[in-house]
Amino acid sequence: MKNKVLKICLTGLALSVAGLVNAETTVLKVYANPLDGDGGAVVKVATGNLPFVSTGIQFEKGELITIQVDTTDTVNYKPLIDVPGQPHYTVNPNGVVHPYLDLRRSSADYLVQGTVRYSLVGFIGSHPTDPSEGGMLVTEASDNKRAGFVGSNYEQTANASGYLYLAFNDDNYRDNSDYWTVTITTPGEPDPGPLASCDASPREAIAGGYISVAASSSANACLAAKDYVTIGAHTKAYDIYAGAAVTIGAHAPVDNIFSGAATTVGAHATTKNIHAGAAITLGAHSDVDNIYAGAATTVGAGAYSDGSLAADANITSTVPEDIHNAASMSAALLQIDVVRAALTAEAPNFIRATTTMGTEYLSPGVHQAGAVNVTASSTITFEAGGLGTPNDIGGTNYRWVMNFGTLTVGASTNFVTAGLGPKDTATIIWNVKTATIGASTSFRGTAFADGPFTAATAVVTCGNIYATGLISLRGIGVELDGTTAMCDSDAVFGYLDF
């Protein structure tokens, strides 16, 4: 269970994947003269007016970058320093040394100085479309080619986090023509391994009490509770941590389980690995990967388990920011207190004089109130406009902070956004003492509660839940009809690094 989100949420930035290339393999064109082609987003470096092409692909430092171009694929160029009457030369991505300059590397006039002339070069920038915002040349593809050289067969780890740019390394683009067809392979989803992180989950819920999720629903989230966790039959969940027992209903598919006490897996349920501080009970025809039990293991008829985990797997075989034992759980709960204090200290833009909220339009900013009761069947619209900050994809992030006392939401209430452009994002934060969400309500936003968050017959469509008390849910990351919530279609409600 990842709790990094709590550490960075004070920035209030939205995270949007709009415009990023998520496919594992991407094919694009790199033009010898980018200004003459339709090769994608072309931008110019301020110094020298020389173009790079943004691939739109984001890498994290340490991720593998693979770039391939057929060596028979060539472009045409004519050097700025040339012999009169000479025709254009052709070159593949590995570059070529001009016949009259064959012992020299690219000079200061070239896009990338010191590497191979007329080669494919790249760098990782901090901005998705504007290389002038700064960045770092990629690690050279082979020895003695110098930083920035990509060539025709590139396989190196990213030396920085950011967006990949590619270009033809020249000092004069005016007379160039044609393009290289470039294939870029981005990292796929890694094998989660025996005790994987919760990064694959789109949502998360952390409770200082227990967590319960209703049957025949979906918890598209990682769950962590200081007390017990109960998942109803036919309900999906990702990784689970409980300081006490974990109970998984029949036919429920979940990922890894860490429990401080016993774990019970219902009939026909499936899990990955289980690390339990006490006994493990596997229901009939359940299917489990590796297990460790602090006491006896009971295996029902037709149940299956792959093998064993080490006794200390909940300590040693983990990602640092996962919640996998009592110490990491306590650290996460402390972060909730830190975040709530910071949110409460924000100066309000709007102070509510009444405690009742019906159908309303809310402008971005910090809203302050005492106890708030939302009338049943109301529609609360978060309307973009006014206050906003630039986001990373060329749009505006609009941010709402609701600093309330107790929050009570009536049944069949809708929470929606309006006025967002295609590149705009929404950050919706609820900072409350307690929250009670009525039946058939679709709640949106990330909530921090200094007590229980009760939504046993409601769903949290988009957002995370952090409560120092219990959390009860009909579902999270789903719509009322049970379908997976598509929170990135217009805006990102769970605004942090999930």
Q: Pairing relation of β-strands 465-467 and 446-449?
A: parallel
* Cα–Cα distance measured from residue 216 to residue 251, given in angstroms and rounded to the nearest whole number: 10
Top-level class of domain 25-185: mainly beta
Q: Which two tokens stand for residue 187?
A: 């990292």
Residue with tokens 């990682």: 222
63 Cβ contact list (under 8 Å, min separation 6)? 157, 158, 186, 187
Q: Which two tokens stand for residue 471?
A: 């959390």
* Cα–Cα distance measured from residue 246 to residue 210, given in angstroms and rounded to the nearest whole number: 10
23 Cβ contact list (under 8 Å, min separation 6)? 186
Which of 1, 111, 168, 135 shows the shortest CA–CA distance to 59? 135
Strands (DSSP E) contained in 222-285 are 222-225, 229-231, 236-237, 240-242, 246-248, 257-259, 263-265, 274-276, 280-282
Which of 185, 157, 168, 7 shows the shortest CA–CA distance to 73? 168
> 390 with 354: CB under 8 angstroms?
no
Cα–Cα separations (whole angstroms), residue 364 to 56, 371, 382, 461, 482:
29, 20, 7, 20, 30
Question: What is the predicted pLDDT for the residue at 106?
Answer: 60
* Cα–Cα distance measured from residue 388 to residue 424, given in angstroms and rounded to the nearest whole number: 10
* Cα–Cα distance measured from residue 275 to residue 213, given in angstroms and rounded to the nearest whole number: 21
Question: What is the predicted pLDDT for the residue at 361?
Answer: 96
Q: What is the 3-state secondary structure (H, E, C) of 60-111?
A: CCCCEEEEECCCCCCEEECCCCCCCCCCCEEECCCCCCCCCCCCCCCCCCCC
pLDDT tens track, the chain, 498 positions: 444 334 333 322 222 222 223 336 788 888 888 754 443 333 444 333 357 778 878 887 777 888 999 888 888 876 655 555 556 688 899 987 555 544 345 666 778 888 888 899 998 988 877 777 788 899 887 767 888 899 999 988 888 888 898 988 887 777 788 889 998 887 643 333 333 344 444 588 999 999 999 998 888 888 999 999 999 999 989 899 999 999 999 999 999 999 999 999 999 999 999 999 999 999 999 999 999 999 999 999 988 888 887 787 777 644 545 688 888 888 889 888 888 998 999 999 999 998 999 999 999 999 999 999 999 999 999 999 877 888 888 888 899 999 999 999 999 999 998 988 888 888 899 999 999 999 999 999 999 999 999 999 999 988 899 999 999 999 998 888 877 776 643 333 333 332
Percent of the chain topping pLDDT 90? 41
Cα–Cα separations (whole angstroms), residue 133 to 57, 60, 129:
16, 18, 9
Question: Which DSSP symbol is given to 215?
Answer: S
**β-bridge mates for residue 309, sequence order:** none
* Cα–Cα distance measured from residue 37 to residue 53, given in angstroms and rounded to the nearest whole number: 11
Q: Is the pTM of this model over 0.75?
A: no
Per-domain residue ranges of the chain: 25-185, 329-476
Task: Provide long-range contacts, Cβ within 8 A and 24+ apart, for 82-88.
Answer: 88/175, 88/177
Q: Pairing relation of β-strands 257-259 and 240-242?
A: parallel
